[in-house]
Amino acid sequence: MKYYIIAGEASGDLHGGNLIKELRAKDAAAEIRCWGGDRMQQAGATLVKHYRDLAFMGFVEVIKHLGTILDNLKFCKQDILSFKPDVLILIDYPGFNMRIAEWAKKEGIRIVYYISPQVWAWKESRVKKIKRDVDQMLVILPFEKDFYDKWDYKVTYVGHPLIQVIDEEKRLPAQSLSDKPVIALLPGSRKQEIQLKLPEMLKMVKHFPDHQFVIAQAPSQPAELYKEMIGHKPVLLAEGQTYNILKQAKAALVTSGTATLETALFGVPQVVCYKGNQVSYWLAKQLIKVKYISLVNLIMDKPVIPELIQADLNEENLKEALTRALYDEKCLAHIKADYANLWHKLGASNASEKAAAEIIASMA
């Protein structure tokens, strides 16, 4: 069969790559074309566009790059029509993918959405569009099935794909980074978020001289972007080694998103750091209705890890939160117990294999 897959971020590339491996394992004749990244390409798909050219963060940034986004949409539609896929698989990335879904439905193309847009966080009314346009929804967060049930829309919970990925990674030995205890810095994969958050994170270097700070460099970003901000600080930059860093980290400063969940599944105490364009943040605050910004706290429905957002992300608050994450024994005991419960909540199944099986079965 012919599969066309669209992912627009680093996490989508990770999960898309694992999905492609499972699709190819079950369908030897699979022909796969994708928008994504290196992992999806390495798994055997023909890469049309890399996510580094697609990721625009925040309302203001989207408006500034509207011309590029519209050009990408037009090109994507033409490419899909030319390829004539049996199924179009959309991975998160709702701003782009939901527009493609609406168009593809009218073209009579079967649509599977793997990893739901966060409609439970904002614009809940988008569920109506999902029900109209998406033939099959595969969700990875346990509370999402109950959410869609309220809208009388049947979805399939396949478990979280990170469980298998990280379980396998934990079995591999770490490649030593330093003789000092490591503090991981995970400032995100987009240029805009790195420029906003990494300078705040780097202010901690002078406060914790007995630790080695290590930045997880996103494969999609050049080293020069980070080096300009690092300057002469004694900080290591490690490209494509996020999991190796987390296996050794005593604590981590993490941007919101999938990285918070990855950090938790490795058992690393963390502080969530978020800072965005002021106008974009104000607009988002009017629309978003969830209590937390990190997946860890959302899934557990309580403040397992501290979140420093916008003005609260400052040197004093960050130093205090990082100190607790490193040295507060009572705090660390609570985090350890909550992380164990988090792992249990997400289940132990092979989500990528289950998703592939569901997609292929639905085509029979």
Residues above pLDDT 90, as percent of the chain: 76
State the pLDDT at residue 285.
55
Candidates 1.10.8.50, 3.30.160.270, 3.40.50.2000, 3.40.50.1820; CATH matching 2-159+349-363? 3.40.50.2000
CATH 3.40.50.2000 in the chain is located at 2-159+349-363, 167-346
Contact assessment for residue 147 and residue 170, using Cβ atoms and an 8 Å cutoff: no
- Regarding pTM above 0.85, the answer is no
In which band, very low, low, confident or very high, does the pLDDT at 125 lie, cut at 50, 70 and 90?
confident
| Cα angle: 108, vertex 114, 115; to 5 degrees | 135
Checking if the pLDDT of 77 tops 80, the result is yes
What average pLDDT does the structure give for the chain? Answer: 91
In which band, very low, low, confident or very high, does the pLDDT at 195 lie, cut at 50, 70 and 90?
very high
Contacts 24+ apart (CB under 8 A), 307-315: 307/256, 307/272, 307/274, 308/271, 308/272, 308/273, 308/274, 309/274, 309/275, 310/274, 310/275, 310/276, 310/278, 310/281, 313/197, 313/200, 313/273, 313/274, 313/275, 314/200, 315/200, 315/203, 315/204
The residue-averaged pLDDT of 47-76 equals: 73
In which band, very low, low, confident or very high, does the pLDDT at 59 lie, cut at 50, 70 and 90?
very low
State the pLDDT at residue 201.
97
State the pLDDT at residue 200.
96
State the pLDDT at residue 351.
93
Compute CA distances 153 → 81, 88, 127, whole Å: 28, 20, 9
Angle of helix 351-363 versus helix 161-170 axis, rounded to 10: 140
State the pLDDT at residue 120.
84
| Cα angle: 301, vertex 302, 307; to 5 degrees | 115
Q: What CATH number labels 167-346? A: 3.40.50.2000
In which band, very low, low, confident or very high, does the pLDDT at 348 lie, cut at 50, 70 and 90?
low
The residue-averaged pLDDT of 61-87 equals: 84
* pLDDT tens track for 269-317: 999 998 876 655 555 554 556 688 899 999 999 999 999 998 899 999 9
